[in-house]
Structure 1
């Protein structure tokens, strides 16, 4: 799971268009690819054990004065009479909290790669006010919002829906197989009765283990012969080392298909060597993972190019407060956002170009509005 896909199974999903993937080889050389480092000795290379007794290293709890300042910023913004999607740092003033949020922003982009902001009570605010608070606080982490589908949906509501096999397979997971965004953010409006933890792992740690023990796997991941089927057919690497940064971007569903999204038989499949590489990544990620128990009102920020993430299975209760509801967004920061390799630029451009459609649903989308398409289309 690199970057995006969040499923109930313990699977970490990772992240040149052509008629086929012509650079495939029967056996890869043993050493690291040219230009790839022997080790990444950086804060983004961590293990979950480091944070077991140090939650305050990544959970930033809003104080009463912080909440008061955020509510004042909300009133200031509403007095301007602007649409909610126009909230930004310059019209959502946080003079005391803002500099601390900027530290989280820098940590997400260049430190450990993730952070949680805690303390909002969703029951205290209307849905509209809660959304503006989320957008206003979020604007201090990244200043640009990305579309999450061709229809231009900016807010995606992740809720369980068992009314059909297709919806169950769609809504219980991240609603897009590959997230085109430097940062993935979500606000938890309500949690399930049990389960649903956010589970993350460092791609940098995975890399260091593989570089020391299985450099041939690094070579396999870095080859341009991975046959992605979604959102379009494309042969490209899973793993990149670009301008001094390691990046990973993949999902098993776009590569292998699923019962809900069957893969077209006309497309090339992954090789046994590639399957072995994905399994190695997931095994290391699971061994080094961090589990984060989520509370209603939590705002998560994940560096989607460097952090592998999934979610624990969950069971909803009968009460509305016991039914899991996340609101997810794709973000990019103009100052700190990473320069991307050519293979990833098209999807990012489609998500963040200014002239595309933008649709903002503060409640779950009308039935059928979000494209529930198969990979074969």
Structure 2
């Protein structure tokens, strides 16, 4: 069972590689793996091998996408994402060199070495979520996934690992910004213990905590908009409002995360992996251009690994079952679909 803050099991301090502050990374080589030309060629050869099998792209796995050299480095990233600093980035694939289909399959091949299970991201079964600006309606333009505005720190609704492929970047802005939930916990535990108490109690609108302590691990799972709403996604009147203490706890998370954040300049072709159970993420505002490759386009996936996946608190298991359960419908849209809009989370917002 997950514990509530104040019990003896909650740690006073998390002293692990994952409790980092952004300023400790003096060089991006500490978290970016740059593929050599030979390694890119190996990925291309693996793609050819897989395509010769005549299988659907959703069936790509380590066994049918052989990476004898690159795979060893990806195994280290896999371990680091699950049990180390909680994130990693693979760089060196040029999206302009491939069709959308081939680029997507290369992405699936690389990420199959980080986690072997892929999750549905909505009730329709969409496996690939296209994060692109969309100002076609007021609703779309204010949705986190389709707006150009800065968004606050959050976790995705499900998935041990969140991954995204950058197909193209904006003309300016749109940086990936992450923060260690362990470092946030340490700050709050020292300076705002009352907020930790609020976050770890199952008194939120969906009757579960936002901070968990389970099997000797601190975990986070929350999004701000579903809890407080905004102008475009107001909370329904029949739902209870969060208390002032709960709101202050959310503010404390945001402030602490900003203190320890790491800003990552993303390049086309970058493949990010972050541990969704203790790494918070956001992006800054951005502005698209008019030229080729000047419109921000990410392809996001939610992942879990049979071997290194964490044991989950009971409160999170339904969301994971809805995402990763066997026999569920799956949709694979290589490019954005006009009808692809779906809510931020399954919780009302």
TM-score, structure 2 as length reference: 0.94
Q: Does 1:306 align with 2:309?
A: no
Q: How does 1:1-377 map to 2 (within 5 A)?
A: 32-51=6-25, 53-170=26-143, 171-172=145-146, 178-227=156-205, 234-365=206-337, 367-372=338-343
What CA deviation, in whole Å up to 9, does each residue of 1:179-214 have, x standing for no partner? 211100000000000000000000000111122222
In 2, the alpha carbon distance for the partners of 1:168 and 1:34 equals: 46
Provide the secondary structure at the position in 1 that maps to 2:293.
Answer: helix
In 2, the alpha carbon distance for the partners of 1:167 and 1:73 equals: 38
Deviation at 1:65, TM superposition (A): 1.1
In 1, the alpha carbon distance for the partners of 2:15 and 2:155 equals: 30
Alpha-carbon contact 1:33-1:218 (below 8 Å) kept: no
What CA deviation, in whole Å up to 9, does each residue of 1:244-273 have, x standing for no partner? 111001111111111121111111111111
CA RMSD, 1 decimal: 1.8
Provide the secondary structure at the position in 2 that maps to 1:344.
Answer: helix
Alpha-carbon contact 2:155-2:276 (below 8 Å) kept: no
In 2, the alpha carbon distance for the partners of 1:255 and 1:76 equals: 47
In 1, the alpha carbon distance for the partners of 2:69 and 2:141 equals: 43
Aligned length: 339
TM-score, structure 1 as length reference: 0.87
Alpha-carbon contact 2:81-2:87 (below 8 Å) kept: yes
In 2, the alpha carbon distance for the partners of 1:251 and 1:136 equals: 29
In 1, the alpha carbon distance for the partners of 2:201 and 2:240 equals: 15
Deviation at 1:147, TM superposition (A): 0.3
Q: Which runs of 5+ in 1 are unaligned?
A: 1-27, 228-233
Query: Closer, same or farther in 2 for the Cα pair 1:107/1:67, shift >3 Å?
Result: same
Alpha-carbon contact 1:192-1:323 (below 8 Å) kept: yes
Range 31-40 or range 207-216, more displaced: 31-40
Alpha-carbon contact 1:183-1:304 (below 8 Å) kept: yes
In 2, the alpha carbon distance for the partners of 1:307 and 1:61 equals: 22
Query: Closer, same or farther in 2 for the Cα pair 1:268/1:281, shift >3 Å?
Result: same
Deviation at 1:368, TM superposition (A): 2.2
Deviation at 1:373, TM superposition (A): 8.3
Q: Which runs of 5+ in 2 are unaligned?
A: none
Provide the secondary structure at the position in 1 that maps to 2:331.
Answer: coil
Deviation at 1:34, TM superposition (A): 3.5
